[in-house]
Chains A and B, each alone.
Chain A
Amino acid sequence: MQGLIGKIIAGKIINADNNTQEIRFKPAAVLPLRASVPEWLKDKTLTAVRSVQDARELGEPGDSIVFSPVEAERWLRPLTVTPSIIDGDPPDNLQITLAWWHEDTPPQLMAVAAGRRIPVELSRNGDRFTGTVPIAALRGAAGYPEQISIEGAGLKTLCAFVPSTSLSAQAIELPYCRGYRLKTPWLSLDVATDHHVGCIAGLTETGREINHFAVPHDITQIPFELGGQFERVKFDWNWDDTPRGQKAVTTGTRQEGGAIRLDLQGIADPGREMRTSAVYVAYKAIPLVTVQREYSIHPKADEKDDGKLKEPIDQLSSPSLGFRSATIAERNGMESSRVLLHTGSELVSVRGPAGEMQGSRSWVLREGWAMVEHSSRRSYILHLFDTDRPPTLKVWNAAREISVEPQWHAQPVAPGDSFGITTGIVAGQWGGASAAGAWVAVRRQEAGGIRWAVIARFSASAINRTVKIVAGQTELSGAFEPFHVSGIGTIYTASFSMRDDIEADPVHITVTSMDSKGQSVTVMESRGLS
């Protein structure tokens, strides 16, 4: 996902017939953001062999040379530990691999955990160094540590133990940066902390082990542009990209009220003295994640009075809030990815060809939801909003991704004021929508069978909300229960246990409700729009 750009020092022809050269180069930056190279690459000279059709494609000394994420990985992430996340019984040993080092002998690395330090013995194995670490040697009296760090010579990588408890939060390494994994029986939520002052990097269903925000790993890409979700602010016409490289600090993780939460804080925009905090909450009972994002603009500490007469308007800012939630698009004509939304008066289905931005100021999400559907891979993502202050929506159909981009009205903000949003997200394998609401269903293994959850948002006029699930030969039905979520309002949940196999198919889900006049309304069947 991250490429490497270097500057060519020299090229040596190896085979003139097919323009094969050995290139010596200095690493210059990490692509695509052109971030500084890691410490272990600074001032180092690397070599690579390239065959090209025309020698001009290689260039000359001083020119750039770019390596794809696949090529660059051994330089950018030379040290890896397998497994990097232990979820369940640990293996006897951790496998340590150093894919590249600038000297013939490997550096001295240590395995560090809970105050214990043991050396890692590495030996040459082809073009790399490998070694093992016995996990038992790092086990303390209280059991396995939260994490084992393999480190030394400026290198560091983590193996995280996800606790066997049903709710957990654990620092992990993500492809782009550091982050946290919040885990519930339903899902794993990966939150990156090195970009956007915190953003969603992954949301993986426990049952299918499918990450709804997954991205291709073999192309250079802007972090979270193709898959991920982050909040953003604009003060005029354009979204402010300042938070892209802004890091968050973690102020805590804790369990409370049947949920696990992660608190982040950081500076969203140093130039504006704009600070931000974010709280990510994942629930134990249902596959719901909420994000509460707050911003505040503060008077500049070093601002001097210029003696000019001030008017009240001089202190005012007009920020608009929004978020961008991107997932890889399916482009299958009539079956292409789409976004469903409800404006309060009608259901709208949005599907466009690549390159088309769709949106309308009248697409106000008054019913408090919008849903992304990728029908081929059966990914349904239901976004939830506050119905009292709903956003408008734009949908960007990019070459590779589709992004839902809600935007809240600009508001007047004076120094010292804060402003923010709370949003919710549910991802699952089945989904549906109609004028009466939208729902997502997901299933997972549990002791003795399968656990199902259906999360729905209904219009205010809907009553008698029920769901029927037919999976293989088994049929279940029941009523939805209201579940109040602070900042979002009331959603409805239904959950069932089924003595069955998780592969049971076909699955047919019917969600029904009555309107206030007592007439039956089918909200949505999983086979198609009603």
Chain B
Amino acid sequence: MRLFQPATFSTDWEIMIFDRQDRVVPTDKIMGLAGLLSREMGLPIQIDDNTLECAMGINSSYEQLRDRIIRVTDRAADLFGLYDLGLCPAASHPIEGLFNASHIHVGTVTDEVQAIRLENQLIPYVPVFAALAANSPLAGSRRGEYKSYRVRHWAHHCTFPASVRDPALSQERWGLDAGPKLRGASTVEVRITDAATSRQFLAELVTFVAAVLHTLGSQPAPPLPTAAEYQDAMVNRWVAARDGLQATLRWQGKLLPVTDIIEEMMDNAREALAGIGAKRSDLTTIESMLRKRVCQADFARDLAGRYSDDYMLASVYTKVMRHWDSFERFLETATPLDPIAPPDDEEILTIHRDQIGEASPLYVTRDTMGLPASAADALLGELIERGWVRRNEDPNRGTLLTRIA
């Protein structure tokens, strides 16, 4: 069985545009230039909520995708430069409340039933993609607690964890971390990935993700995840958001650094990589990142460490990000980072407790790590049992939680 026939892939890269007063340029101003770019490039480039959404068309090889990414963004930089505008490829911003993605489309899929089965299969893998792509450690005035605030906060509900779906018992869903998208495309869309800063990294990331999906799509679907495996995946998703490539994940009954998992996934996807014209040795940026456990978020965090004022940081951020090789330059000299231990059960409990204030809604126990209702309720029961949290039922305001210790 091969789910993806022919093997294709692409990305929709959301890029912020700023003027020379560091103001984000709104939709109505960039729409015309996006249209012009789309016409010139022959690609479905558009806008999405104050970003230029560079959709890279349908690609069948790594070289083709990489070439398109470079040509589109070079031309976009020239075109917007005519109006003194600069491109700022990043998944978040120190002042603006935007979260941006590099959505990855993997095709070609025509069988939605099989694609839903793959969606289930992808649940453990999406935290790995999130860790590798993490690039939103600055969001509004928040800094650095997470390497991906976008993933932690579900991209303002534009990317959220998939449920385990039975094709016989489910409807089409939009906005999943990864799932079929047969409307306007014939792909499985991976939405969890933060918008990239580096063009080279983006080309490699998309190729890697596509090869993983092509590989999984050619294998028999495994049994559905158990409740425990699903919960581990949700914890992993949170850990990936916090730690990026320093993450240690719960993986098939063991604790493994996410970099080791990616290495293994690369090896397993060797054949699929070849199918789209790539070798593992082509993915040089990812190799360097794995070796140092440094992701793009570490670059932004390093910058933020030198500018305490949000507006100063924003100005510097937009100036640096427009250079497509800034991240690679940083990576060359970056100090290798160590893996971070994942939270154990006790720490998971306290992480959830700390999200509860007074009169907090029940859903904070769900939103924190995306634990499903039964697991979140078990955890809440433990918090109540220990005398840390009180639960009140209010007919007007629903279930409210109050931390008391």
Contact = CB atoms under 8 A, between A and B. Distances in A.
Contacts of A397: 357
Contact of A362 (B314, B318, B397): B397
B354 interface: yes
B141 A399 contact: yes
Nearest to B145: A354
Interface in A343-363: 348-356, 358, 360, 362-363
Given A3-B309, A59-B319, A63-B20, A353 B326 contact: no
**Residue among B311, B312, B319, B358 with max Cβ neighbours from chain A (10 Å):** B311
B359 A358 contact: yes
B306 A53 contact: yes
B308 interface: yes
A350 B20 contact: no
A353 B355 contact: yes
Contact of B354 (A31, A350, A353): A353
Nearest to A343: B396
Interface stretch (A118-126, A244-252, A331-339): A331-339
A32 B309 CA distance: 11
Contact of B142 (A3, A351, A399): A399
A65 B357 contact: no
Given A62-B20, A64-B21, A54 B329 contact: yes
B403 A29 contact: no
A52 B329 CA distance: 15
B358 A56 contact: no
A352 B367 CA distance: 14
A64 B315 contact: yes
B20 A66 contact: no
A355 B156 CA distance: 12
Contact of B357 (A5, A7, A352): A352
A355 B309 contact: no
Contacts of B303: 57
B314 to A, nearest CB: 8
A102 interface: no
Nearest to A334: B403
A53 B84 CA distance: 25
B402 interface: yes
A375 interface: no
Nearest to B22: A64
A181 to B, nearest CB: 28
Interface string A376-407: 00000000000000000000011110000000
Contacts of B113: none
A342 B358 CA distance: 14
Contacts of B355: 353
B256 interface: no
A57 B299 CA distance: 13
B345 to A, nearest CB: 20
Interface in B281-332: 303, 306, 308-312, 314-316, 318-320, 323, 326, 329
Given A28-B21, A62-B20, A358-B360, A68 B312 contact: yes
A34 B21 contact: yes
A66 B315 contact: yes
A408 interface: no
B402 A349 contact: yes
A400 B141 contact: yes
B31 interface: no
A369 to B, nearest CB: 17
Contact of B396 (A28, A218, A362): A362
A107 B68 CA distance: 59
A400 B405 CA distance: 23
B364 interface: yes
Contacts of B314: 66
Contact of A57 (B153, B319, B396): B319
B315 A56 contact: no
A5 B141 CA distance: 19
B81 to A, nearest CB: 10
Contacts of B403: 334, 351
Nearest to B395: A362
Contacts of A68: 308-309, 311-312
Contacts of B329: 54
B23 interface: yes
A32 B326 CA distance: 27
Contacts of A336: 357
A334 B405 contact: yes
B277 interface: no
A136 interface: no
**Residue among B140, B356, B396 with max Cβ neighbours from chain A (10 Å):** B396
B121 to A, nearest CB: 33
A59 B318 CA distance: 10
Contact of B316 (A5, A57, A353, A398): A57
Nearest to A362: B396
A137 interface: no
Interface in B222-242: none
Contacts of A3: 309, 311-312
Nearest to A337: B357
B319 A63 contact: yes
A57 B302 CA distance: 12
Contact of B20 (A7, A218, A362): A7
A65 B315 contact: yes
Given A34-B21, A56-B326, A220-B309, A350 B142 contact: no
Given A54-B320, A57-B320, A360-B396, A349 B359 contact: yes
Contact of A56 (B84, B320, B396): B320
A224 to B, nearest CB: 16
Nearest to A354: B142
Nearest to A53: B306
A56 B22 CA distance: 15
Interface in B389-405: 394, 396-397, 402-405
A348 B359 contact: yes
B20 A220 contact: no
Contacts of A360: 396-397
The 6 closest A-B pairs by CB, nearest first: A362-B396, A351-B357, A351-B358, A352-B357, A399-B141, A66-B315
Interface of A: 3, 5, 7, 28-29, 31-32, 34, 52-54, 56-59, 62-69, 218-220, 333-334, 336, 338, 348-356, 358, 360, 362-363, 397-400
Given A56-B319, A66-B316, A362-B394, 8 more contacts: A63-B319, A65-B315, A69-B309, A349-B359, A352-B357, A353-B354, A358-B357, A400-B141
24 contacts: A3-B311, A31-B311, A53-B306, A54-B329, A57-B320, A58-B319, A64-B22, A64-B319, A65-B315, A68-B309, A68-B312, A334-B403, A338-B358, A349-B358, A352-B358, A352-B360, A353-B355, A353-B357, A355-B142, A358-B357, A358-B360, A362-B396, A363-B397, A398-B141
